[in-house]
């Protein structure tokens, strides 16, 4: 009976359904109560003046921090649960043998639900190549997976609204699909390390391991808690800086650096984004405040895409499977794609 005892000690004591129902209920109550509570705290409990720099900054902080944390906890748990049904092993099976265009589109779409982690890029790459999936299709996936990731989407939705989150997702998919097709056309197969080709057809296959709903929910929650714990410090700093900008930064300053009058705004923000790789939690709140201060949408989108998609650690880690010319091509294609999106939206939305 040791088996059962060990398992029981790590399980919640309430039945699964009750725990889920209670959590969903608590989440909804918190979600509805959050905005009025933040307002009340700032302007009634703390007695700050409405419209004052300090008052608006504090209210912004109090409103955004719980809102984003609630969204992250709720949505990442659900997304992680869904993602459990699309492991890369299954994605690979779905991609093998598809036409080039269909394969590229499917690969980019799968990138939305699969986890983004620079350390998973290499096993994915080898696994795809091993199964005979074309290089362009593989890169479509590698571009979309970190760029269209759930943390960025949740933050965009929470701070900017669903419209911009959707625009970002669509733009990200377009960059991934076009980027994948371009890299596929360039015929750079010879820049893939020889040992990767040698592995082709040699990989073992694992049998699918069945997982119970209880395990799925338990793990999704554990993963979400760990992720939120890890990004919360960045989030607090980001929202804090965002709040300061919101309350204090003069609109003219933002307009001068990132505004429409500066034709180099898009490449400048992309450059700034490079060292901020994948720190969406810390930067998106700042970007939101900048958008509020008059930074155009295209520049804003370009900045966020560069943060999530241009990741130096990922490029370095990919060097283990591909040679520098292909790494550089990958980086260049992604960067050009992001610049195009930035200029396009700046031109479209006056």
Partner 1 sequence: MKKIEVLGPGCNNCVRLEKNAREAVAMAGVDAEVTKVTDYAEIMAYGIMSTPGLVIDGKVVSYGRVPSAGDIAAWLSE
Rule CB under 8 A: which residues touch partner 1?
A: 2-3, 6-7, 9-11, 84, 87-89, 92, 117-120, 122-124, 126-127, 130, 195, 199, 202-206, 209, 211, 215, 218-219, 222-223, 226, 230, 317, 320-321
Nearer to partner 1, 123 or 187 (CB): 123
Q: How far is the CB of 164 from partner 1 (least distance, A)?
A: 29
Q: Which is nearer to partner 1, 141 or 168 (CB)?
A: 141
Q: Which is nearer to partner 1, 7 or 50 (CB)?
A: 7
CA pair distance 34, 151, nearest whole angstrom? 20
Nearer Cβ to partner 1 (123/250): 123
Q: How far apart are CA 103 and CA 327, in angstroms?
A: 22
Nearer to partner 1 by Cβ, of 49 and 226: the residue is 226
What is the CB neighbour count within 10 angstroms for residue 328?
A: 13
Burial of 204 (0-12, 13-18, 19+ CB in 10 A): exposed
Which pair of tokens denotes residue 146? Answer: 């970190």
User: In terms of CB distance, is 201 or 350 closer to partner 1?
Assistant: 201
The least CB distance from residue 258 to partner 1, in Å, is 33
User: Packing angle between helix 135-147 and helix 297-309, nearest 10 degrees?
Assistant: 110
Per the CB < 8 A criterion, the answer to whether 56 and 244 are in contact is no
Q: Please identify, using beta-carbon distances, which residue of 44 and 205 lies nearer to partner 1.
A: 205
Minimum CB separation of residue 98 from partner 1 in Å reads: 17
Q: How far is the CB of 328 from partner 1 (least distance, A)?
A: 21
Return the axis-axis angle of helices 162-185 and 100-113, rounded to nearest 10°.
140
Nearest distance, CB of residue 205 and partner 1, angstroms: 5
Task: Kindly give, in sequence order, each residue whose CB lies less than 8 Å from that of residue 152, ignoring residues fewer than 6 positions away.
Answer: 168, 280, 284, 304, 307, 308
Vertex 203 angle, CA 200 and 205, to 5°: 135
Nearest distance in Å: CB 281, partner 1: 15
Query: b or e along 40-78 (b: 16 or more beta carbons within 10 Å of the residue's beta carbon)?
Result: eebbeeeebeeeeeebbbbbbbbbbbbbbbbbbbbbbbe
- Find the shortest distance in angstroms from Cβ 186 to partner 1: 24
The encoded tokens of residue 257 equal 């650096």
- From CA 61, how far away is CA 246, in angstroms rounded? 10
Cα 224 to Cα 79: distance, rounded to the nearest angstrom:
10
- Round to whole Å and give the CA distance between 203 and 209: 18
Nearer to partner 1, 45 or 209 (CB): 209
Closer residue to partner 1, CB minimum distance, 28 or 211: 211
Q: Nearest approach, Cβ of 191 to partner 1 (angstroms)?
A: 17
- Please check whether residue 182 is in contact with residue 333, taking contact to mean a CB–CB distance below 8 angstroms: yes
Min separation Cβ 203 and partner 1, Å: 5
């Amino acid at each position: 009976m040791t088996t059962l005892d060990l398992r029981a000690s790590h399980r919640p004591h309430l039945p699964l359904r009750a725990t889920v129902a209670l959590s969903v209920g608590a989440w909804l109550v918190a979600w509805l109560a959050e905005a009025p509570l933040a307002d009340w705290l700032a302007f009634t409990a703390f007695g700050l003046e409405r419209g004052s720099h300090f008052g608006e900054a504090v209210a912004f902080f109090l409103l955004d921090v719980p809102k984003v944390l609630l969204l992250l906890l709720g949505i990442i748990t659900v997304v992680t649960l869904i993602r459990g049904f699309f492991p890369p092993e299954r994605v690979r099976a779905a991609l093998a043998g598809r036409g080039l265009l269909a394969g590229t589109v499917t690969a980019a779409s799968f990138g939305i639900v699969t986890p983004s982690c620079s350390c998973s890029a290499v096993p994915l790459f080898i696994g795809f190549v091993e199964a005979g999936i074309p290089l362009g299709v593989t890169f479509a996936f590698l571009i979309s997976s970190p760029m269209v990731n759930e943390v960025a989407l949740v933050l965009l939705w929470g701070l900017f609204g669903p419209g911009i989150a959707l625009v970002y997702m669509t733009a990200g998919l377009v960059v991934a699909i076009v980027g994948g097709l371009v890299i596929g056309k360039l015929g750079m197969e010879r820049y893939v390390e020889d040992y990767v080709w040698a592995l082709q057809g040699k990989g073992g296959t694992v049998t699918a391991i069945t997982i119970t709903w209880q395990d799925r929910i338990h793990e999704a929650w554990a993963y979400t808690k760990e992720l939120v714990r890890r990004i919360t410090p960045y989030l607090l700093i980001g929202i804090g800086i965002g709040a300061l900008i919101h309350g204090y930064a003069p609109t003219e300053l933002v307009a001068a650096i990132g505004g429409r009058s500066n034709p180099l705004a898009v490449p400048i923000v992309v450059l700034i984004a490079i060292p901020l790789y994948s720190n969406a939690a810390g930067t998106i709140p700042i970007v939101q405040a900048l958008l509020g201060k008059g930074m155009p949408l295209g520049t804003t989108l370009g900045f966020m895409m560069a943060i999530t998609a241009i990741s130096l650690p990922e490029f370095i880690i990919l060097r283990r499977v591909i040679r520098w010319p292909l790494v550089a091509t990958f980086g260049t294609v992604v960067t050009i794609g992001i610049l195009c999106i930035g200029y396009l939206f700046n031109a479209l939305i006056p």
